[in-house]
């Protein structure tokens, strides 16, 4: 029998209307024995219909989703909704507060800890609550991400590959409705695999997608617009907010991630000079970057080449690289 979550909230998910509150995560420390990490949450319910679970701030240095969901939370009124919308714009609140990818409380990377643990670290408890409580309520899940401090990403929506044909079709439809410029079906091999939020939702049979909509821990206006319009289209498509204003979905390019075996990693520390842009079509053998040594100013740079044909899905954002840093990842058209 699964353990009950230790996280609690005053929000009544079965109540109609617009409720604003917090998820309370127990966090006992030296100077505050009974402290709680408080994660803001909005629940908007009205009548019968599906439930959308919308999250951002899973990584704290990714901002397009955090702002898009705050705007949506203000916009929606109960009369706009047929069903329920649960909005958590700062899911890993300690990471959001500190502007970090991972939590300063326990160094937890929330998007690598699903399904979490009821009595684990603070970040594991958040993952467990989402997996064991919120997924039970959800009919569709969107977790909005961006590249954060370390990555420059082509504007992309992603869904986890599944074996079930009906669910696979539902995921492809969800990607099409969301309408990001690129849509990637992935096995998760380049990231957290089954330990990510959207993969954990897919494992439960819930149509779920994530995104990568910006870079460098700043706000991309284009990424923000994609997040706002994509979420609106999904709410309209599912009949949850049937009259919400949104522009028609542009065509999306459906891709398959080529995974880590076709990625480029730094063989040593140095300064990276990229030779390809995100979203660019590249060929095997084409130069991807030049890597300059730090110690010897006269040493010629090391040129690293792409190992496969594909489209650049992301590249490293900072110029300074350490040995083992991921520098380029590729996807291929389906």
With pLDDT > 90 as the criterion, what percentage of the chain qualifies?
94
Class of domain 8-254: alpha beta
CA distance 265 to 329: 9
Q: Kindly list the distances between the CA atom of residue 119 and the CA atoms of 27, 113, 272, in Å, as whole numbers in the listed order.
A: 11, 13, 42
H helix or E strand, kind and range, residue 40? strand 36-46
Class of domain 260-333: mainly beta
CATH 3.40.630.10 segments of the chain: 8-254
Length of the chain as a residue count: 334
The answer to whether the beta carbons of residues 42 and 19 sit under 8 Å apart is yes
Beta bridge partners of 302: 291
Q: Which two tokens stand for residue 216?
A: 């460098």
The burial of 258, by beta-carbon neighbours within 10 Å (0-12 exposed, 13-18 middle, 19 or more buried), is given as buried
Q: What is the DSSP letter of 226?
A: H
Q: Which two tokens stand for residue 244?
A: 């919400």
The answer to whether the beta carbons of residues 239 and 50 sit under 8 Å apart is yes
Q: Which runs of consecutive H residues, i.e. helices, occur in the chain?
A: 64-75, 93-98, 122-129, 135-137, 165-178, 197-203, 221-237
Kindly report, residue by residue over 266-312, the tens digit of the pLDDT: 999 999 999 999 999 999 999 999 999 999 999 999 999 999 999 99
Kindly report, residue by residue over 18-68, the tens digit of the pLDDT: 999 999 999 999 999 999 999 999 999 999 999 999 999 999 999 999 999
Does residue 191 register a pLDDT over 70? Answer: no
Average pLDDT over residues 121-143: 98
Give the 3-state secondary structure of 41-89.
EEEEEECCCCEEEEEECCCCCCCHHHHHHHHHHHHCCHHHCCEEEEEEC
Q: Kindly list the distances between the CA atom of residue 22 and the CA atoms of 52, 163, 220, 293, in Å, as whole numbers in the listed order.
A: 18, 36, 28, 49
CATH 2.40.50.100 segments of the chain: 260-333
User: Torsions phi, psi of 28, nearest 5?
Assistant: -85, 125
Does residue 5 register a pLDDT over 60? Answer: yes
pTM of the predicted model as reported, rounded to 2 decimal places:
0.96
Q: Which two tokens stand for residue 143?
A: 């977790």
């Amino acid at each position: 029998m699964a353990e009950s979550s230790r996280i609690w909230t005053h929000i009544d998910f079965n109540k109609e209307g617009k409720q604003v509150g917090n998820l309370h995560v127990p966090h006992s420390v030296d100077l505050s024995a009974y402290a709680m990490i408080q994660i803001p949450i909005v629940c908007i319910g009205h009548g019968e219909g599906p439930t959308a679970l919308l999250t951002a701030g899973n990584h704290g240095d990714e901002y397009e989703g955090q702002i898009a969901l705050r705007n949506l939370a203000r916009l929606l009124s109960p009369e706009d909704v047929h069903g329920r919308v649960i909005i958590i714009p700062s899911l890993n609140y300690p990471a959001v507060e500190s502007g970090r990818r991972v939590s300063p409380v326990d160094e937890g990377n929330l998007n690598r800890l699903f399904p979490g643990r009821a009595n684990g670290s603070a970040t594991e408890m958040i993952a467990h609550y989402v997996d064991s409580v919120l997924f039970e309520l959800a009919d569709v899940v969107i977790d909005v991400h961006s590249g954060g401090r370390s990555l420059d990403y082509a504007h992309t929506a992603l869904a986890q590959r599944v074996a079930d044909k009906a669910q696979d079709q539902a995921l492809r439809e969800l990607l099409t409705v969301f309408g990001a410029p690129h849509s990637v079906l992935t096995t998760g091999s380049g990231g957290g695999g089954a330990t990510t939020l959207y993969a954990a939702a897919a494992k439960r049979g819930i149509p779920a997608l994530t995104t990568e909509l910006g870079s460098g821990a700043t706000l991309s206006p284009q990424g923000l617009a994609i997040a706002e319009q994509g979420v609106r289209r999904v709410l309209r498509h599912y009949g949850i907010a049937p009259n919400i204003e949104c522009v028609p979905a542009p065509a999306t390019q459906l891709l398959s991630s080529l995974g880590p075996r076709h990625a480029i990693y730094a063989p040593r520390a140095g300064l990276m000079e990229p030779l390809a842009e995100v979203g660019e079509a590249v060929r095997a053998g084409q130069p991807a970057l030049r890597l300059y040594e730090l110690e010897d100013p006269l040493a010629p740079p090391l040129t690293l080449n792409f190992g496969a044909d594909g489209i650049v899905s992301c590249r490293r954002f900072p110029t300074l690289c350490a040995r083992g840093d991921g520098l380029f990842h590729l996807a291929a058209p389906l």
